[in-house]
C-alpha cells in the first residue's frame, strides 16, 4: 500500500499500479523483507512523492539507481540522513 504521506494528487496517478499484480508483488516482497529485518534502500521509496505534487512534475526519469549504501550519492528519494554515520 502506498505511504499515506504522499501528496494526494499522486494517489490516482498510481492507483492502477498499486492494485496491479506487479504492484501487489512488490509491496508483498518489501513487507516480507522488512519483517525479516533486511535494510531496504531507499528507506522511504515514495519520498519524492511527498515533496512534490504531481502538478509540479514535468519529467519523470525511470531507472535503477545503483547507490544502495551509506557512502553513496544522496538525492531526494535516497535520503539517508540519520541512517549513516558521517565519515
Alpha carbons 43 and 20: distance in angstroms, whole number: 23
Alpha carbons 30 and 13: distance in angstroms, whole number: 21
Rounded to a whole number of angstroms, the CA Rg of the chain reads 14
Catalytic site residue 65? Answer: yes
Q: Considering 9, 16, 65, 79, which one is annotated as catalytic? A: 65
- Catalytic residues, by residue number, are 65
Amino acid at each position: 500500500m502506498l505511504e499515506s504521506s504522499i501528496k494526494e494528487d499522486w494517489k490516482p496517478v498510481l492507483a492502477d499500479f498499486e492494485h496491479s499484480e506487479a504492484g501487489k508483488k512488490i509491496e508483498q516482497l518489501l513487507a516480507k523483507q522488512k519483517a525479516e529485518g533486511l535494510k531496504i534502500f531507499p528507506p522511504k521509496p515514495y519520498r519524492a512523492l511527498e515533496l512534490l505534487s504531481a502538478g509540479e512534475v514535468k519529467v519523470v526519469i525511470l531507472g535503477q539507481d545503483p547507490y544502495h549504501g551509506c557512502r553513496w550519492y544522496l538525492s531526494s528519494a535516497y535520503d539517508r540522513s540519520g541512517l549513516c554515520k558521517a565519515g
